[in-house]
């Protein structure tokens, strides 16, 4: 069974260390509840335990804030905890030639944490594509 909350993501990660897998599974659950804003808000409301794994704690904070912003849900206060921010930049993917692009297009919830990724980083097969996808043209800024 997939994790139903970000808190559950942290609990499962504490057992096996695979925060990336549990986060992806959680996203499938979250997207499966599309349209039920109360349920989705509850999925990110409760503070996940800190894992003392810098990238994982920051990424989970970014996920909580990004989902709240993207779906118009209340932003939980726990996402602002200082341990939810990195001190060194993390690029996903870690390709030197993409860094400038990733710095420009990363959503604010991730950029503020020094996590630089694509413009809509939490897409999955279950993503509700009818809501639209955030894109950024490769030739930004537009030519004059």
Going from N- to C-terminal start, the domains of the chain cover 6-131
Say how many residues make up the chain.
Answer: 144
Say if residue 92's pLDDT is above 60: yes
Cis check for the bond before 93: say yes or no (omega within 30 of 0). Answer: yes
36-53: pLDDT as tens digits: 999 999 999 999 999 999
- In whole numbers, what is the pLDDT of the chain averaged over residues? 93
Among 49-58, 62-71, 82-91, 126-135, the least confident range: 126-135
Question: Per-residue confidence at 141, pLDDT binned at 50, 70, 90?
Answer: low
Other Cβ atoms closer than 10 A to 68? 19
């Amino acid at each position: 069974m997939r994790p139903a909350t970000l808190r559950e993501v942290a609990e499962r990660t504490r057992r096996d260390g695979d925060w990336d897998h549990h986060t992806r599974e959680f996203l499938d659950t979250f997207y499966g509840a599309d349209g039920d804003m109360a349920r989705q808000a509850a999925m990110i409301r409760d503070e996940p335990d800190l894992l003392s794994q810098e990238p994982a704690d920051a990424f989970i904070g970014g996920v909580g804030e990004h989902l709240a912003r993207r779906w118009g849900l209340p932003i939980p206060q726990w996402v602002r905890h200082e341990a939810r921010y990195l001190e060194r930049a993390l690029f996903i993917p870690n390709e030197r030639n993409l860094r400038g692009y990733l710095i420009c297009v990363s959503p604010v919830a991730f950029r503020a944490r020094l996590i630089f990724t694509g413009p809509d980083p939490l897409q999955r097969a279950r993503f509700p594509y009818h809501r639209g996808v955030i894109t950024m043209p490769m030739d930004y800024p537009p030519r004059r």
